[in-house]
Amino acid sequence: MFARGLKRKCADSEDSPPAPPACSLQRQSLLDMSLVKLQLCHMLAEPNLCRSVLIANTVRQLQEEMSQDSAWQVPAPASAGRGPLERLVSTEILCRTPWEQQGGHSAADSGGSPAPDLLSEPPGAPSAQAPRGAPGCAWEAASPRESRGGFQRSLDQIFETLDSKAPRAAEGLFADVDGPYYDLDAVLTGMVGAKSVPGDGFETLAPTGAPPPGVSYKRDLGELDHVVEILVET
Amino acid sequence: MLLSLPALHLQTSEYHPLLQLPHGRLGPWCSPTGSPAPLSCETGCGEGSWILVCRLLVPTQVSLLSMEEDIDTRKINNSFLRDHSYATEADIISTVEFNHTGELLATGDKGGRVVIFQREQESKNQVHRRGEYNVYSTFQSHEPEFDYLKSLEIEEKINKIRWLPQQNAAYFLLSTNDKTVKLWKVSERDKRPEGYNLKDEEGRLRDPATITTLRVPVLRPMDLMVEATPRRVFANAHTYHINSISVNSDYETYMSADDLRINLWNFEITNQSFNIVDIKPANMEELTEVITAAEFHPHHCNTFVYSSSKGTIRLCDMRASALCDRHTKFFEEPEDPSNRSFFSEIISSISDVKFSHSGRYIMTRDYLTVKVWDLNMENRPIETYQVHDYLRSKLCSLYENDCIFDKFECVWNGSDSVIMTGSYNNFFRMFDRNTKRDVTLEASRENSKPRAILKPRKVCVGGKRRKDEISVDSLDFSKKILHTAWHPSENIIAVAATNNLYIFQDKVN
């Protein structure tokens, strides 16, 4: 009825690390799948909070294991991570973040440079239009208060919607656009010139630079806004 | 004594300790309700044979027709519905519940409708018809709503129905969707007043000049009419989706639980409720656990349990504090390290929790197992039953198609000796706690003729598949049995399969 399931953990756990590549690949695909699941929610009705929490916990666990394993891996050149742009941004950013960690221990919020800011929005944006990124990119939106590992922070954004004071969050999110990630930002969201556009949320996020990879981005922006908003009550 | 709480000497008060309302009855406010009636037929699930009593469909057309007494439900099902497929998404049954005597069976569906079936009375002419359930009442409980503030639809799907014990001629039930709980009164009317002076038979006003005599209106018998009226609407108390409601044994209060909070209501008061559990973190970034189900103890009106998405159960005592954030007991089984995977947490999430009728045990359902816990032992369950362990190697695919998030319910039989839960491919499973035998049965049109004995099913895991077995890869994961119910005193079960309601009975009965 369905294809045989992927093995969900390393077959040879007795072997010492480095983890076999197959394991990390399967972990990667699981992570991709999880992130897609978190984004694709029913737009008309509120998404199931239990399901979202379970997926988010799984994602955290995956990320922790990957960051553990990354200590054994040679960092791949940055360009290798670009790959097909349909792949979720988060995966390559995720792969990058652990390499920059000072420690390499499992705590998800240790070290790591702030993830890219991928949205521009004026600080005065109403809370209903709290800043979001392109699908996958939202996970990387920087928290204003801490400079934690990008992924963990962005994951928490999902749950933080309600409680965050939007204007402050908005300011913080766009405060630190770091150089290395800027190109990625531009490519993915196609908003090179859109940083200072005032006004109302997502309509202004039409790609002005390089077109986004696929029409889905624009729709996903709106979707993601909805998702994150309704995931936690306003 | 269930719990030995130290130094809690409560006066028996005239007033409810939390709500400060005078009790409806005088006397101690926690009087036990008495033990359930003994089972009329005490066969285990293995020895007994289960037969299909009737299969009921609840699309609109059927329910209207069935209001007439002389329509044979079977006739409707056979001719009407075999040829015309009226099943729509709105007809998917989302909850099933017997009332306390088992005379009535309520179903709720995704379209916000409640259909109540009544057991056919015994009659000399049609002895074999006893045990069948016919439509008694149908009403629209919840309508779809739109939350303008959040630009979201509020689904009208009925998440749970709970009956109140019968205290007069009318029946009362609670039904809830994601946000609003409603108390419905279902009553019969078989007489109507006739002979008004100022109105004629059609209800039109009569010209006073034409009235020459006075008469006293009398009650005349009429065709039986069952009417459902909403008596209370308990709204605007839940930010998140309501997953459980539970009537307290004091019959004055009930609780409603959503993902993060549990509220206590008094049936008479709709504009306020008490929040008794709140697990919402101050910083939503830290949210990792939600409430999945909650239930009151069947006899101790101060005690309730709630389960979480992390596979834990907390038992709380409302006498300890107003906000029961600190549990009295905490039930959790240590994780088996050999079975650890990325999906361990997801499959440990508890989808249903039910007290036994005796109040001594609780049963929990997670994705692959059913566990029975003794309230006096918190560190592990006393019994664990594998529902469909052959799915353990398929978890990744089930995660992909979202089936891993399916919430199966579980039920006790009247004597707490057998437990039942659903599975995929329209299978449902029964476990006899005494004999340790289990059986897998199927609820499907193709395989059940009325009164035919259900054949036990078997899923084959290995290579060689026997003739009657079905292989794991052939299972239909779109046919899932999430909702089942067991008659409180007899071996009659109701199984909801999508838009079909199957009623099975133990043949020995």
Q: What is the pLDDT of residues B405-447, one digit of tens each?
A: 999 999 999 999 999 999 999 999 999 999 999 999 999 887 6
Nearest-angstrom CA–CA distance, A160 and B283: 7
pLDDT-based confidence at B125, cuts 50/70/90? low
| pLDDT value of position B262 | 97
Question: Region A88-99: what's the mean pLDDT?
Answer: 37
Residue B83 included in any domain: no
Q: Give every strand in the sheet of B160-163, ordered side by side.
A: B160-163, B171-176, B181-194, B218-234
pLDDT-based confidence at B253, cuts 50/70/90? very high
Residue B23 included in any domain: no
Residue B460 included in any domain: yes
User: In a 3-state reduction of DSSP, which class is residue B194?
Assistant: strand
| pLDDT value of position A3 | 46
pTM for this entry: 0.69
Residue B400 included in any domain: yes
| pLDDT value of position B321 | 87
Say if residue A212's pLDDT is above 60. no
User: In a 3-state reduction of DSSP, which class is residue B502?
Assistant: strand
Give the ipTM: 0.83
Q: Are the CB atoms for B271 and B282 separated by under 8 Å? A: no
> What are the angstrom distances between the C-alpha of B268 and each of B24, B29, B167?
11, 17, 15
B51 membership: H or E segment, kind and range = strand B50-57
Q: Which residue's entry shows tokens 């045989």?
A: A4
Candidate from B33-42, B48-57, B275-284, B328-337 with smallest mean pLDDT: B33-42
Residues 6 or more apart whose Cβ sits within 8 Å of residue B266: B16, B19, B21, B252, B253
Say if residue A203's pLDDT is above 50. no
Chain A residues touching B474 at Cβ < 8 A = 1
Q: Are the CB atoms for B258 and B276 separated by under 8 Å? A: no
Say if residue B331's pLDDT is above 90. yes
- Nearest chain A Cα to B311, which residue? A54
Candidate from A99-113, B172-186, B392-406 with smallest mean pLDDT: A99-113
Are the Cβ atoms of B151 and A226 closer than 8 angstroms? yes
| pLDDT value of position B151 | 83
Residue B79 included in any domain: no
Higher model confidence: residue A78 or residue B423?
A: B423
Q: Which residue's entry shows tokens 């929490």?
A: A53
Q: Could you report the per-residue pLDDT of A9-47, keeping only the tens digit for each?
A: 544 444 444 445 667 888 889 999 998 888 875 555 677
For A24, list phi and psi in degrees, rounded to 5: -70, -30
Higher model confidence: residue B184 or residue B469?
A: B184
Candidate from A91-95, B154-158, B409-413 with smallest mean pLDDT: A91-95
Which among B259, B398, B401 has the least Cβ separation from residue A50?
Answer: B259
**Tokens matching residue B15:** 């007033």
Q: Where are the strands (E) in B171-260, listed by range?
A: 171-176, 181-194, 218-234, 244-247, 253-257
Compute the count of residue pairs across chains A and B with CB atoms less than 8 Å apart: 111
Candidate from A15-29, B250-264, B382-396, B495-509 with smallest mean pLDDT: A15-29
Helix axes A179-189, A89-100, angle to 10 degrees: 170
| pLDDT value of position A194 | 39
| pLDDT value of position B166 | 94
Work out how many domains chain B is built from and give that number: 1
User: In a 3-state reduction of DSSP, which class is residue B117?
Assistant: strand
Say if residue A111's pLDDT is above 70. no
Give, rounded to a whole angstrom, the gap between the first and last alpha carbons of chain B.
Answer: 35
| pLDDT value of position A183 | 41
Nearest-angstrom CA–CA distance, A144 and A37: 26
What CATH number did the domain enclosing B428 receive?
2.130.10.10
Say if residue B82's pLDDT is above 90. no
The letter for the amino acid at B476 is D
> What are the angstrom distances between the C-alpha of B507 and each of B52, B442, B448?
9, 16, 14
- CA A228 to chain B, closest CA, distance in angstroms equals 12
Q: Are the CB atoms for A131 and A125 separated by under 8 Å? A: yes
Q: Are the CB atoms for B231 and B242 separated by under 8 Å? A: no
| pLDDT value of position B444 | 87
Say if residue B390's pLDDT is above 50. yes
Question: Region B72-91: what's the mean pLDDT?
Answer: 49
Mutate which of B399, B406, B471, B479 to test chain A, going by most A C-beta atoms within 10 A?
B399
Residue B13 included in any domain: no
pLDDT-based confidence at A209, cuts 50/70/90? very low
Residue B120 included in any domain: yes
| pLDDT value of position B492 | 94
Chain B residues touching A160 at Cβ < 8 A = 283-285
User: What's the 3-state SS for B421-445?
Assistant: EECECCEEEEEECCCCCEEEEECCC
Nearest-angstrom CA–CA distance, B431 and B420: 6
Radius of gyration of the CA atoms of chain A, in A: 17
Q: Could you report the per-residue pLDDT of B352-385, keeping only the tens digit for each?
A: 999 999 999 999 999 999 999 999 999 999 999 9
Question: Region B225-251: what's the mean pLDDT?
Answer: 96
Mutate which of B148, B342, B393, B470 to test chain A, going by most A C-beta atoms within 10 A?
B342
Q: Are the CB atoms for A99 and A70 separated by under 8 Å? A: yes
- Tell how strand B113-119 and strand B104-109 pair up: antiparallel
Question: Across all residues in chain A, what is the average pLDDT?
Answer: 51
| pLDDT value of position B55 | 84
Residue B401 included in any domain: yes
**Tokens matching residue A19:** 């983890």
User: In a 3-state reduction of DSSP, which class is residue B417?
Assistant: coil
Question: Region A71-81: what's the mean pLDDT?
Answer: 51
Which residues on adjacent β-strands are paired with residue B174? Answer: B162, B183
Full residue range of the structural domain in which residue B98 is found: 50-62+88-208+216-506
pLDDT-based confidence at A124, cuts 50/70/90? very low
Q: Could you report the per-residue pLDDT of A157-173, keeping only the tens digit for each?
A: 555 544 433 334 333 33
Higher model confidence: residue B286 or residue A108?
A: B286
Radius of gyration of the CA atoms of chain B, in A: 24
Are the Cβ atoms of B477 and A54 closer than 8 angstroms? no
Which among B152, B285, B345 has the least Cβ separation from residue A54?
Answer: B345
Are the Cβ atoms of A45 and B309 closer than 8 angstroms? no
